[in-house]
């Protein structure tokens, strides 16, 4: 950042796309201007919600598969421990 007195930088916010004018020497904001939000059509909103729902279904399926794997591993460990217990009783 330059320390020249009176120098002003124009910065665009990556989140909201607002434009900020920042004084280089102090780092103070001289002016800010919000951009007008693009109005979305009803079809765009419906498409976005449909994609969001599909994403939830995919995440749910992945979580269910992970839980199934955990359950299978737990059963294998139980069977192994139970087998060791029976082997020790037979001796």
Pair 20, 10: CB distance under 8 Å: yes
pLDDT at residue 4, as a whole number: 55
pLDDT value at 73 more than 50? yes
* Residue 82 lies in domain: 39-91
Mean pLDDT of 45-68: 92
Say if residue 45 is in the same domain as residue 32.
Answer: no
- Count of the separate structural domains present in the chain: 2
Task: Measure the CA angle with vertex 64, ends 63 and 70; round to 5°.
Answer: 90
Say if residue 69 is in the same domain as residue 28.
Answer: no
pLDDT value at 87 more than 70? yes
Give whole-number Cα distances, 33 to 7, 17, 89, in Å: 19, 9, 79
pLDDT value at 66 more than 90? yes
């Amino acid at each position: 950042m330059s320390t020249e007195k009176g120098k002003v930088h124009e910065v665009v916010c990556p989140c909201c796309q607002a434009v900020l004018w920042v004084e280089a020497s102090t780092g103070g904001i001289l002016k800010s201007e919000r951009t007008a939000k693009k109005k979305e059509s009803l079809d765009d909103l419906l498409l976005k919600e449909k994609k969001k729902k599909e994403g939830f279904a995919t995440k749910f399926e992945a979580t269910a598969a992970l839980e199934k794997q955990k359950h299978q591993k737990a059963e294998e460990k139980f069977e192994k421990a139970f087998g060791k217990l029976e082997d020790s009783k037979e001796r």
